[in-house]
């Protein structure tokens, strides 16, 4: 997982990453504002995600699975 100011790139399989946008990360903390992604997620954190969308360029957008 690599964090940025706008979200986190989550590795789903080797060579396949998706973006968990900061607006989706808010769902992990009950909808509270997230100023720093690393306050919620950091390298090595395991979370459940699902694919929300794959755009025409093949970019993968993710959303968290709250109760896996």
pTM of the full predicted structure? 0.88
Q: Any residues with CB less than 8 A from the CB of 33 and at least 6 apart, and which?
A: 26
CA distance 22 to 44: 18
Q: How many domains does the chain have?
A: 1
pLDDT tens sequence for the chain (68 residues):
899 999 999 998 999 999 999 999 999 999 999 999 999 998 888 899 999 999 999 999 999 998 86
Rounded to the nearest 5 degrees, what angle is found at the Cα of 45, between the Cα atoms of 48 and 39? 110
| CATH at residue 6 | 2.40.50.140
Range of the domain at 12: 2-64
């Amino acid at each position: 997982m690599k964090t940025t100011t706008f979200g986190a790139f989550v590795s789903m399989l080797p060579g396949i990453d998706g973006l968990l946008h900061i607006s989706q990360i808010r769902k992990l903390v009950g909808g509270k504002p997230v100023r720093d992604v690393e306050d919620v997620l950091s390298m090595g954190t395991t979370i459940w995600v699902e694919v929300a969308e794959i755009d025409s360029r093949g970019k993968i957008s993710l959303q968290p699975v709250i109760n896996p």
